């Protein structure tokens, strides 16, 4: 697992001895002041401001213990890094580094008191409190903080991976759906073309031109996440022309889009999927023509509305087309795709990006 940016920056900083020791000295002063404040609350006549030798001793103790902790951490890293077994790693730090650090703290405190501070009397209870204090802040707390940061980083990475897999899955399903639609569309178009060749050669020639425009658009834009609304509408005109010839003008598609919104973005072939969906589930006949309206509203949504006249022997629907559109737009924008069905009409509202 890759380290997060803050962890990498911390690691780089700790590789520089001068900066590292400077930080440890500043930390030692802060820790010593906190310790003296604690003793000041325990003992009535305890002087919170101590002689400079005690601060020097605290600096030596802090630097020595932290350097030892870093060295031991590096050795443990070679055998059990955090990403291999974080719980086991934390346990090892508590069982190996903590006892070693406690012994070192006690020995260093005795040496500082005897050789630097020339203390004639050492109070055992104070030394126990001091040893536990430094052990907690220099060893135990950093270990648990590192453990927490690692878990947080793993959680964030896990979320990113889940989102990536969800997006790839949505893209795959979207591609599979388009691959499924194209053969059906081609089959129906070739049937229509075979009839036109004998009935009206001019119409057949126009049909072939529009069919080539449709497939050129599909090939050119199949790998793009978004295209302009203007490009999609140009494509849909050719696509609708083929459908209208197939249904002998029993299908009408009207477009009313504000010019200011033509450069907004949508997912390629969105309108094709919605028109295919309307034709698939509704009657298209002379007595019951299917009317599809494509228009924009004041909220900058692209609306696709058709009159509802469901087939009596309707095909079993999995709603995969609409589900894929909803899932696809879930990765392109925070605005939702809205689907509304009444007794008379069916509307899909697609956000313009």
C-alpha atoms less than 13 angstroms from C-alpha of 199 in its C-beta half-sphere: 12
Distance from CA of residue 105 to its chain's centroid?
Answer: 45
Segment 192-246, tens digit of pLDDT: 677 667 677 777 777 788 777 777 777 777 667 788 999 999 888 888 888 887 7
How far is Cα 257 from Cα 270, in angstroms, rounded to an integer?
A: 15
The pLDDT score that the predictor gives to residue 257 is 92
Q: Which residues does 20 contact at the CB level (< 8 Å), separation at least 6?
A: 13, 14
Give the Å distances, CA to CA, from 25 to 12, 19, 144. 19, 10, 22
The pLDDT score that the predictor gives to residue 320 is 64
Q: Kindly list the structural domains of the chain, giving each domain's residue range(s) and its CATH number in brackets, ordered by start.
A: 5-162 (no CATH), 200-351 (3.30.565.10)
The pLDDT score that the predictor gives to residue 151 is 86
Please report, to the nearest 10 degrees, the dihedral formed by the alpha carbons of residues 71, 72, 73, 77 taken in order.
100
> What tokens were used for 274?
């919605």
pTM score over 0.85: no
> What tokens were used for 248?
């002998």
The pLDDT score that the predictor gives to residue 170 is 60
Residues of the chain with pLDDT under 50: 1-7, 9, 177, 180
> What tokens were used for 328?
């696809």
Q: Which residues does 272 contact at the CB level (< 8 Å), separation at least 6?
A: 181, 235, 236, 239
The pLDDT score that the predictor gives to residue 183 is 63
Judge residue 219's burial from the number of C-beta atoms within 10 Å of its C-beta, 0-12 exposed, 13-18 middle, 19 or more buried.
Answer: exposed
Give the Å distances, CA to CA, from 3 to 19, 81, 130. 22, 12, 34
Please report, to the nearest 10 degrees, the dihedral formed by the alpha carbons of residues 336, 340, 346, 350 taken in order.
-10
Q: What is the CA radius of gyration of the chain?
A: 36
Strand, helix or coil for residue 147: helix
The pLDDT score that the predictor gives to residue 2 is 47
């Amino acid at each position: 697992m890759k380290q997060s940016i803050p962890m990498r920056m911390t690691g780089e900083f700790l590789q520089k001895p001068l900066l590292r020791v400077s930080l440890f000295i500043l930390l030692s002063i802060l820790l010593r002041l906190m310790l003296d404040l604690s003793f000041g609350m325990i003992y009535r006549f305890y002087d919170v401001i101590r002689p400079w030798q005690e601060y020097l001793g605290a600096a030596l103790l802090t630097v020595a213990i932290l350097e030892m902790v870093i060295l031991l951490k590096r050795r443990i890293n070679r055998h059990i890094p955090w990403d291999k077994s974080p719980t086991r790693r934390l346990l090892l730090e508590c069982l190996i580094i903590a006892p070693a650090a406690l012994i070192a703290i006690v020995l260093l405190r005795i040496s500082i008191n005897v050789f630097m501070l020339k203390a004639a009397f050492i109070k055992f209870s104070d030394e126990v409190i001091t040893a536990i204090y430094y052990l907690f802040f220099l060893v135990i707390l950093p270990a648990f903080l590192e453990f927490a940061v690692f878990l947080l980083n793993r959680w964030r990475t896990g979320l990113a991976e889940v989102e990536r897999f969800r997006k790839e899955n949505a893209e795959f399903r979207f591609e599979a759906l388009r691959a499924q639609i194209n053969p059906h569309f081609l089959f129906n178009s070739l049937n229509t073309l075979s009839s036109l060749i004998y009935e009206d050669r001019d119409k057949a020639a126009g049909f072939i031109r529009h069919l080539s425009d449709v497939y050129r658009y599909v090939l050119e834009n199949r790998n793009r996440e978004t295209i302009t609304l203007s490009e999609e509408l140009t494509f849909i005109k050719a696509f609708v022309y083929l459908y209208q010839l197939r249904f002998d003008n029993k299908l009408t598609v009207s477009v009313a889009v504000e010019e200011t919104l033509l450069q907004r973005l949508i997912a390629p072939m969105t309108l094709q999927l919605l028109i295919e969906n309307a034709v698939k589930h509704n009657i298209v006949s002379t007595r019951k023509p299917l009317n599809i309206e494509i228009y924009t509203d004041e909220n900058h949504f692209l609306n696709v509305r058709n009159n509802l006249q469901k087939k009596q022997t309707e095909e079993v629907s999995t709603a995969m087309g609409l589900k894929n559109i909803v899932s696809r737009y879930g990765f392109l924008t925070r605005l939702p795709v809205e689907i509304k069905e009444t007794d008379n009409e069916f509307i899909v509202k697609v956000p313009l990006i």
